[in-house]
Every structure is written in structure tokens, then in C-alpha cells.
Amino acid sequence: MAKVIDFQTNPESYRHWRVEYDGAIANLFMDVDEDGGLFDGYQLKLNSYDLGVDIELSDIVQRMRFEHPEVKVVVMQSGKDRVFCAGANIRMLGGADHSHKVNFCKFTNETRNTFEAAEADSGQKYIAAVKGACAGGGYELALACNHIMLTDDSTSSVALPEIPLLAVLPGTGGLTRVTDKRKVRRDLADIFCSTEEGVKGKRALEWRLVDEVVANSKFDDTVQKRAEDFVASSTKQDVQKGIFLGPLSRVIGDDGTLTYSSVEVSVDREARKATITLHGPEDAAPDDMDAFTAQGDQAYLLRLARELDDAILHLRLNEMELGLLVFRTQGDPEAFLAHEKLLTSSRDHWLANEVLHYWKRLLKRIDVTSRSMVALVEHGSCFVGILAEVLWSVDRSYMMEDEFEGDNRPVATITMTDSNFGLLPMGNGISRLETRFLEDSHALQAAEAQRGKALEADDANDLGLVTMILDDIDWEDEIRIFMEERASFSPDAMTGMEANLRFAGPETMETRIFGRLTAWQNWIFNRPNAVGEDGALQRYGTGVRGKFNMERV
């Protein structure tokens, strides 16, 4: 049986990172355990990383938001001499299944995006303090920081050397950040990405690859001074104490089912589908944010987000033949609305802000998940506000119309709130409803006019909020036919179609990153020039250059 990849971890279990907290400054050290790879067959030399290293980093970034809101500046640096980070481990990439490589790259980019947005979302600014070689995915770590400092010596450089060394796309998100974020001129970026040894010192600064170059003798003091300067200029509110993120309550069944406190995932491998049921709150909403904070990680909307996030990641990496994700909800819409309203009306409170931004990131993770997705709006459901966003993340949605014989649950409704009109934007920078009704301002205005109303099937259908409404006679047959049809299609064709249809509207750095990941990286990782027996990934480190098929496609 394949090893189950677990995305849950905690500081006591870290093997690759350590954090030293000093008031408003956190010093984050990458100190990878060479023998701590997620799988056998490779060593993580030169601070190179695999998925296990990134799982720890993702956990650190999340805990920085919730457990250490006092932090205003994070200094990312190496715990090893003469190397910042050599990037993704080549032996791991050479030996990993194609699906693992692509999912690894996607999770890596999601983690980078999270700390890249930390300043705008949470007032936490990340500094990359680069001493030594900083190559490939290592430079991507730096690129996602808000400020890059490079020491000026003979061994320190930044590089995206994948083209000459590995025959794969340089950094995936790295290319896009070089041009779109750092505004490096295209021809200079071409030289940079074609140069194995990278760029050092003043040239790196002149080309905008870094923000500061500092003499080695002054580097550590200058980094500390810069961190203090950023703390002094920070507008982040002072928060004395965060909340503890404890382990999730989760049971994995022998049949692949996942059971959390508010999320259930049932698995039907024969039908190639997983059904994700989100349960509404059992308790009334806290009276205020003080009461919410006192609940800590057990506060309903935070707990639900953490559980759903874990379930999505588990399905991505451990159940890759399940091609269809079916989203359901069950619960009292009014009760859910009360919990949501507390957060949306308290957005100036640090914890309300963090939970809402967490939901934004989680919904984006659903958006870029390469599975067919459908939502079933059944009687007794609670697709309200934040949960209603799921309806416009998925590829199709079906809603029960009128009463069903023998079904005593409340009639299915959908309720839109302020959360659906800009609070939780997609990677394209606009809301899911704006994306759904692209350039159709009348449809968007009509939907917005119904904000706060519990809409039954006919009204939801008239507003274009669901794909189809079905009565008692047609429900079971139509849903069955759809699911059987979806399971019969080529998964490659589905991924290509869905990834293109989900991101209408403006192109942003984020959509470009994930668009390239879905298409170009997926394609290149299948090509013999990279992964074939004589490909660059297989021959790396042997002293023999990869043998390429020189046909340009």
C-alpha cells in the first residue's frame, strides 16, 4: 500500500526548519535534514527540498498568522554555510511519479503565494536574507518574499538554472515573478534563465533580481537593521497573544473515508468519486470576538476551514484516481449565517481578519484542484455566504426543486451575503460571481439585489446561480448520468478543459502561475527530454549531458 502523505504537522515534529521569535521579528531558518526525505532513495543535500520540507513551511506560515500575530517581520535565511537553498531535490524529481511532481509543484506554489500575500493580508513582511547559492526553487522562496537582500561575495548568487541543467521550466512560478513582480526586462530574464551559474552582486541589483546587495562583513547587521526599520514602519496592529492550532480530529477509514468534526469524506473508488459533506454549526455563534477568540482553534468557522483544507490536500495527493469531488452541505442556514456575520462585521479584529483570509486561500485551493467538481444543493443544505462560494468554484451545480417525497428536511435554499461580492476574490482578482457573470453587469446586479434572501430553486435558477434545478422525478437519474459520464472521460482532457474554464476574466500573476503549472509544467514533465531514460533529470549529476529530441513543438 502506498504511503499516506499527511499534511498535518507541528513545531515539535519539524526536521527541516526552525524559528526564533524575538518580539515583532521572527527569524526563520531553513536547515534541511539531509536524511529526512519524504521517501527513500535520495538525500536532501544543499538545503534542497521535497514535499515534506514544504509541508513544514506551510505549517510555519499558517502558525505565524494565528499563533504569532505579534510578528511584523519574518527573516527567511539559511541555517547552513555557503548555501541558501538549492531548490527542489533533483533525485526526488527524477524518481517521483508524474502526478506527484505536478501536485508537489502546485502545493509549493500555494505555499509561496501564502507568505507572499502575508504583508497585504496580515501585515507580516517577509525578508529573504540570501547568503550562498540560491538556485531554482531556492530563488523562488526568495522571490515570494517582499524584500530580497543578497550578500556581496564570491559564493552568493541567485539563479534559475533549470533550462541548462534539467530541461524543465525554470521555477514555474519563478519565471512569472521575475517578469510580473520584479519587472525584470525580458531579454535580461532570458540571459538569467539560460545561465547555469546565475547572477551575483551588483548585477543582480541592476537587473532587479534583488532589492539590496550588502558587503559580507556588514550583512548580518544590515539584515537586522532592515528588519527593525520595517517593524518601525509597519501599520500592523499590536497583538499580544495568538491562539494555538492543535491537531485536527480526523479518522481515516480502511475504505478511504475521512471523518472530522464538521467534515465527512466518503469514497467510492469504483465510481472514481469522493463526496465531501460540510456540516453546519451545532452551537450558536459566539456573542462577540472575545468569545470567538476564547474558543481558539475550536471556533466553528476556523475549525471547518482547517478540516476542509486538510481533506482537499489529502484527496489531491493520496487519492489521485478519484476524478470527481462532490460537495454537499447539511445544516441550519441561519445558524451558519450568524457565525459568518460575526466575522464579516468584525474585520478590524485580527483573528476575524485571519479566518476570513484563510477561507480566501482555501477557496483558491479548491479553484485550482485538478478534479471535476460538482455541488449538490439538497434539502437541508446550508449553502450560505462563504459556503455558497463553493457553488461557483465547482464546474457544475444541481439544486433540488420543490419538496421530495419522504424527505422531511427543509427545502433547499441559497443565501448570498457580503462574502459573495468581493470579500473572497479568486486568483484573477475578482469575485466568483463576477467571474461567473463576466461582462454581464445586469446579472451581477440582479444577484446582488437578492443578497440576504433565502432563494429557493426557481429563483436561484432565474438568477443563474446554479447549473440546473431538478425535481423529485428527475433528481436521481440526472445526477447518476452526470457522474457516470464524468468518470468515463479522459482525466487529461478534463484537467485541460476545467483549468481553462474556471479562470475567465483578468489575468494576474497568480493565474499565470497556475495556468503555466497546469499546462507547461505538466507537459514538460511528461517529455523524454526531461524524464526519459536519457533525459536531463535522469542524467543530472552523472557528468553526462541529457540526450534531447531536438524537434521544436
Among the candidates 451, 479, 494, a domain finishes at: 494
Among the candidates 471, 494, 517, a domain finishes at: 494
Residue 483 lies in a domain: yes
Q: What is the pLDDT of residue 517?
A: 73
Residue 481 is which amino acid? I
What cell numbers appear for 538 in the block?
535522469
Q: What is the pLDDT of residue 1?
A: 46
Tally the domains of the chain: 2
pLDDT digits (tens, 9 = 90+) for 70-99: 999 999 999 999 999 999 999 999 899 999
Residue 155 lies in a domain: yes
261 and 224 inside one domain? no
Ranges of the chain with pLDDT below 70: 1-2
Residue 11 lies in a domain: no
Strands 258-259, 263-268: pairing kind: antiparallel
What cell numbers appear for 87 in the block?
531548490
Print the domain residue range for 403. Answer: 251-494
Q: What is the pLDDT of residue 152?
A: 96
Residue 427 is which amino acid? G
159 and 76 inside one domain? yes
63 and 123 inside one domain? yes
Q: What is the pLDDT of residue 294?
A: 98
220 and 339 inside one domain? no
Residue 519 lies in a domain: no
139 and 185 inside one domain? yes
CATH of the domain at 105: 3.90.226.10
Among the candidates 447, 470, 494, a domain finishes at: 494
Q: Order of strands across the sheet with 83-85?
A: 83-85, 133-135, 157-159
Residue 324 lies in a domain: yes
- Among 103, 34, 19, 30, smallest CA distance to 316 is for 103
Strands 383-384, 414-415: pairing kind: parallel
204 and 273 inside one domain? no
Residue 546 lies in a domain: no
Residue 531 lies in a domain: no
266 and 187 inside one domain? no
223 and 255 inside one domain? no
399 and 360 inside one domain? yes
Residue 504 lies in a domain: no
- Among 399, 279, 286, smallest CA distance to 332 is for 279
159 and 212 inside one domain? yes
Q: What is the pLDDT of residue 221?
A: 98
DSSP letters along 353-368, please? Answer: HHHHHHHHHHHHHHHT
137 and 281 inside one domain? no
38 and 105 inside one domain? yes
